[in-house]
Structure 1
């Protein structure tokens, strides 16, 4: 005869059933250390190309070789972006990225598909699509990892031409196959072309587990070209598109913390996605235009001296020209002339009574001196970029200067000439030692000066 379970036994069975249902959720896999009360923070480690964790790490490269590469990459980057902002509605240049690894662009390692296939991606705040190379490969650049094969992933699904997802994304279609497509051309002539699809993406989490997120739009690239060199598999775009971009799909928030990019051992640079993004510190207005993140720079101070700069110098014109972009792909900071010259003059006034000017041969004119940053600039005041609503980006000597030769240092801020559409750009060297949070739906940017190591430890106990 069947026995009727007692109340405690029934409760036990109910708890077991809930646990079984929870364990089969598509958001996490069995290896995750997820706390069931709160999803873990999607904190992805950012890998600087010169760090020991990077496949590009060269133990024989001198720090001065790396500086040269960063400068070359920064020049290529701003030239690319200036062409991009000149035609903000031209979809053929929407990605706006020179697809190579020069400079200081960061890498991330994530996995896509079921079972997960690892990818090595370049992050770019100027690109709105998350894409990777795929089988069948009509034309692909070399990569270190196996090409992703959609046929081997049980979670992969092409987006159909007649779907709302296609209409809201690119509105491009392969009529023969009935699949939604994309076709991005970069300013340097490289590009990517392929299918749009939905797919699972596996992220590592801040508690050393993993989380699987279903992403409704990714790019599966079958025809790809670019000046990459055998490592990268694609691009993780962090720009905003109301439907297409990864950022919109995970909650329209993200934060980037950058520490000491000169230290190859430093391992705490991180990207946090979604609602657990670190939005702390002072806030300022964030303007998304043409796929780029603009801030309203209202003035600059050197120590207690507020420089005489017309606030209109940093305004973006209705045509799209000018303005100040916060960027992840340039090491240098670029200021248009009427903003740069007062800063240069104040630096010269402070340094030239005791230091000798030096000439650094390059395509760009740098303000340089004979000496070393750590010895000759110990008493140099901080430089403050004053943003709208009282937020400040504070630059100390490691943000403002870099050692280009054993006995020569230069300012990391350079002049943006007229050929660059009046664009100003705040690069990665200025963003060092800051966590910067983007809340796109609220149009707010948060700036917190912090060591990313402390940020990482704080998140472990939150």
Structure 2
């Protein structure tokens, strides 16, 4: 399974946060909302509310500043709000799988170290980040074992991409079984290869929506209405809001589809799978499991293709669709959303060994299958 808990570490050095190189950072997962950093060089204390005491080590930094409610930065993106009792700006970011982080929005001098080209250090002042103290990683059973830092890659003002004024980025998730870091390329280093799918100007702010036309099992598109994956702007009570739509995300581990679509997908996969022993009882997370190795799964199960246009698609098979869960079981890594959600999300398990490029200037995402361990 792709390790959502792997991300970049930060260290204190003269008060500044030292992060790994931009090319390539040592990332196992990316965040599409804020930057939040934790110091691994200070003693971290917890109380019963799962709040860390000074997680960033702010007392040691002369350049750290919490953002106040009356500053423009408190309006840069969704998820920012004001705490009336102390007049400081807070943030909250959450995933559909229950992972979240929340606490103060702050600014700091961040120093990036070029580990590959030996160009030294680049320090950037007044960089916004979420100094997270309340954090839950759903993959750890809701316990406090969050990653030490997550990189913001959306198109809102507070993300790392926007603050650095980059016009794009690309990443290539290495397989979970490979002991190789996932490469991330920012700005001019991004690799714009493969078939292109336009980024749609719809949906929730800061997300990347794509025009998914079909999910096929083998050569058969699922029997769904043409508008199934469309985002629509609807009235809810006394306000208008976006509902539905298909977005691509680099932090969600498993692809999320609404329950009825997962059921249709499951039934179609079962019909096209031969000579494998299906488990009648599924896990809490997964809807379809077989007693088989991934190698056997790849031989006996149909491929699953996400078709965005006549030329933009990618095929998920083997470890891109299935994950081993122990006891000789492999389960379909496409799961239902919660009852209150109708948004479809392409997770990072399906993106393994696919170079995914986000060209924000021209407005497209491209996909190209490759061995990500070779980049």
Under TM normalisation by the shorter chain, which class is it? 0.7 to 0.9
> Structure 1 residues 225, 110: closer, same or farther in 2, change over 3 A?
closer
> Structure 1 residues 448, 215: closer, same or farther in 2, change over 3 A?
farther
Match of 1:148 among 53, 57, 70: 57
Cα distance between partner residues in 2 of 1:162 and 1:182: 8
Cα distance between partner residues in 2 of 1:306 and 1:405: 31
What corresponds to 2:127 in structure 1? 217
Residue 331 in structure 1 maps to residue 253 in structure 2: yes
Match of 2:135 among 226, 251, 256: 226
- Per-residue CA shift, 1:115-172, capped at 9, x if unaligned? 654469995434234455799x99886889984346645x656768876656657696
> Structure 1 residues 225, 157: closer, same or farther in 2, change over 3 A?
closer
Check conservation: 1:113, 1:156, Cα contact below 8 A. Answer: no
Superposition pairs for residues 321-360 of structure 1, below 5 Å?
321-352=243-274, 354-360=275-281
Shift of 1:350: 1.8
Check conservation: 1:195, 1:219, Cα contact below 8 A. Answer: yes
Residue 280 in structure 1 maps to residue 227 in structure 2: no
Shift of 1:107: 0.8
Shift of 1:186: 5.1
Of the structure 1 ranges 366-375 and 190-199, higher mean CA displacement relative to structure 2 is found in 190-199
Residue 317 in structure 1 maps to residue 232 in structure 2: yes
- Per-residue CA shift, 1:252-277, capped at 9, x if unaligned? 422121011133xx213122222212
Larger proportion of strand: 2
> Structure 1 residues 233, 339: closer, same or farther in 2, change over 3 A?
closer
Residue 127 in structure 1 maps to residue 42 in structure 2: no
Q: Which runs of 5+ in 2 are unaligned?
A: 21-26, 137-142, 234-240
Cα distance between partner residues in 1 of 2:289 and 2:269: 10
Residue 268 in structure 1 maps to residue 181 in structure 2: yes
SS in 1 for 2:342: coil
SS in 2 for 1:193: strand
Of the structure 1 ranges 333-342 and 290-299, higher mean CA displacement relative to structure 2 is found in 333-342
Cα distance between partner residues in 1 of 2:99 and 2:324: 33
Residue 300 in structure 1 maps to residue 300 in structure 2: no
Shift of 1:208: 5.1
> Structure 1 residues 292, 161: closer, same or farther in 2, change over 3 A?
closer
> Structure 1 residues 150, 106: closer, same or farther in 2, change over 3 A?
same
TM-score by length of 1: 0.62
Instruction: Kindly name which structure, 1 or 2, has the bigger radius of gyration based on alpha carbons.
Output: 1
Shift of 1:399: 1.0
Match of 1:182 among 66, 89, 96: 89
What corresponds to 1:407 in structure 2? 328
SS in 2 for 1:431: coil
Check conservation: 1:123, 1:237, Cα contact below 8 A. Answer: no
SS in 1 for 2:227: helix
Shift of 1:220: 6.6
Cα distance between partner residues in 2 of 1:348 and 1:173: 51
TM-score by length of 2: 0.74
> Structure 1 residues 254, 377: closer, same or farther in 2, change over 3 A?
closer
Q: Which runs of 5+ in 1 are unaligned?
A: 1-66, 71-102, 457-462
> Structure 1 residues 342, 384: closer, same or farther in 2, change over 3 A?
same
Cα distance between partner residues in 1 of 2:190 and 2:278: 43
Shift of 1:174: 9.4
Cα distance between partner residues in 2 of 1:410 and 1:400: 8
Larger proportion of helix: 1
Cα distance between partner residues in 2 of 1:405 and 1:166: 45
> Structure 1 residues 341, 238: closer, same or farther in 2, change over 3 A?
same
SS in 2 for 1:348: helix
What corresponds to 2:106 in structure 1? 196
Count of aligned pairs between the two proteins: 344
SS in 2 for 1:262: coil
- Per-residue CA shift, 1:214-262, capped at 9, x if unaligned? 15432373x8223464675444322331x22211122142212101113
Check conservation: 2:68, 2:88, Cα contact below 8 A. Answer: no
> Structure 1 residues 109, 232: closer, same or farther in 2, change over 3 A?
same
- Per-residue CA shift, 1:341-374, capped at 9, x if unaligned? 443233112224x233213442245112233231
Cα distance between partner residues in 2 of 1:214 and 1:298: 42
Check conservation: 2:229, 2:344, Cα contact below 8 A. Answer: yes
What corresponds to 1:246 in structure 2? 160
Check conservation: 1:110, 1:202, Cα contact below 8 A. Answer: no
- Per-residue CA shift, 1:373-408, capped at 9, x if unaligned? 313542544321101463112112121222223433
Cα distance between partner residues in 1 of 2:369 and 2:351: 9
- Per-residue CA shift, 1:308-351, capped at 9, x if unaligned? 33231111121322122222333222222454344323311222
> Structure 1 residues 351, 234: closer, same or farther in 2, change over 3 A?
closer
SS in 2 for 1:107: coil
Cα distance between partner residues in 2 of 1:230 and 1:370: 30
What corresponds to 2:117 in structure 1? 207
Cα distance between partner residues in 1 of 2:100 and 2:296: 44
